[in-house]
Amino acid sequence: MNEREALKHTLQYLEAEIAGNSATPLTVAEVNYLLISTNDAGKDAIHIHTCIMHQNPSDVDVHAAEYTSIRKRIGKAISALTGIKMSFDASTSPSTSTARANSCQAELRLPKLELFFFDGDLQQWISFRDLFVTAVHNNQSLSKSQKFTYLKAQLRGEALRQIQSMIISDSKYDLAWTQLATRYHNERELLFCIMKRLFNQPYVNEPTATAIRQLVDTTRECLRSMEILNCPVEHYDAFITYILFIKLDSTSQELWGHGLNNSSIPELKNLYDFLESRARALAASKGGSNSRSNKQQHNMQTRNPERSKQTKVTHTFKLHCIKCDSSTHNLHKCPDFLSLTAQSRFEVIRKLQGCINCLRSDHTRVVFDASMKASNGISLNDQLMVGPTIQDTLYNIILRFRCHKIAFTADIAKMYRQIIVDLQDRRFQRIVWKADPSHPIRHFELNTVTYGTAAAPFLATQCLQTLADKTAIQFPMGSKALKSDFYVDDCMSGGSNLQEVKKTRDELNSLLTSAGFSLRKWVSNLPALTDDLEPSLREPIESQQTIKTLGIHWDPTLDSFKYVHQIKVPQKPITKRSILSYVSKYFDPLGWISPVILIGKLLIQELWQAGLTWDEPITDVFHQKWEGYLDSISQVASLHIPRWYFKSTYDPPADVELALVGYSDASEKAYGSVIYICHYRNNQYLSSSLVTSKTRLAPLKRISLPR
For the chain, the domains span 2-108, 114-185, 190-284, 308-365, 394-541, 576-697
The answer to whether 604 touches 579, Cβ cutoff 8 Å, is yes
Q: CA–CA separation, 537 vs 498, rounded Å?
A: 19
Rounded Cα–Cα distance for residues 544 and 559 (Å): 10
pLDDT tier at 214 (50, 70, 90 boundaries)? Answer: confident
Q: Residue 193's pLDDT band (boundaries 50, 70, 90)?
A: confident
- According to the model, what pLDDT value does residue 312 have? 34
The answer to whether 556 and 525 are in contact (CB under 8 A) is yes
Q: At what angle do helices 268-284 and 250-259 cross, to 10 degrees?
A: 120
Strand order in the sheet with 640-642: 547-549, 552-555, 560-562, 640-642
Query: Among candidates 291, 268, 269, 276, which has minimal Cα distance to 212?
Result: 276
- pLDDT averaged over every residue in the chain: 81
Q: For 67, list phi and psi in degrees, rounded to 5.
A: -65, -45
pLDDT band at 365 (very low <50, low <70, confident <90, very high): low
Tell me, which fold does domain 394-541 have in CATH?
Alpha-Beta Plaits (3.30.70)
- Section 20-33 average pLDDT: 77
Rounded CA-CA distance 696/673 in Å is: 9
pLDDT tens-digit profile of 341-360? 766 776 777 677 666 555 66
pLDDT, tens digit, for every residue of 222-256? Answer: 888 888 778 888 888 888 888 888 888 888 888 88
The pLDDT assigned to 116 comes to 66
Among positive and negative, which fits the CA dihedral 114, 117, 122, 128?
Answer: positive
CA distance 392 to 484: 6
- Rounded-to-integer distance, Cα 49 and Cα 466, Å: 25
The residue type found at 172 is K
* Distance from C-alpha of 399 to C-alpha of 641, rounded to nearest angstrom: 13
Report d(CA 583, CA 605) in Å as an integer.
Answer: 12
What span, in angstroms and rounded, lies between the C-alpha atoms of 297 and 299? 5
455-486 residue pLDDT tens: 999 999 999 999 999 999 999 999 999 999 99
> So what's the pLDDT on residue 657?
87
Sequence-distant (6+) residues with CB within 8 A of 308 are 301, 302
d(CA 705, CA 707): 5
Which residues are within 8 A (CB) of 262 and not within 5 positions of it... i.e. 6 or more apart? none
Cα separation, 636 vs 638, in Å, equals: 5
Q: How far apart are CA 250 and CA 209, in angstroms?
A: 15
What is the model's pLDDT at position 56? 67
Q: How far lies 490's CA from each of 386, 493, 519, 524, 527, in Å?
A: 20, 10, 9, 14, 19
pLDDT digits 0-9 by tens, 614-645: 889 999 999 999 999 998 888 888 889 999 99
- Sign for the CA dihedral angle at 541, 546, 549, 554 comes to positive
- 493, 485 Cβ separation under 8 angstroms: yes
Strands (E), 496-594: 519-524, 547-549, 552-555, 560-562
Confidence at 650, pLDDT banded by 50, 70, 90? low
Q: Using CA atoms, how far apart are residues 337 and 323, in angstroms rounded to an integer?
A: 7
pLDDT at 304: 41
Give me the percent of the chain exceeding a pLDDT of 70.
85
Given pLDDT bands bounded at 50, 70 and 90, which one contains residue 107?
very low
Q: Is the pLDDT score of 83 beyond 90?
A: no
- Find residue 696's DSSP bridge partners: 671
CB count in 10 Å sphere of residue 87: 10
DSSP assigned state of 531: T
Altogether, the residues listed in the chain come to a count of: 707
∠ Cα 355 360 362 (to 5°): 100
Cα–Cα distance for residue pair 287/208, rounded to 1 Å: 9
Residue 283 has pLDDT above 70, yes or no: yes
Beta bridge partners of 407: 494
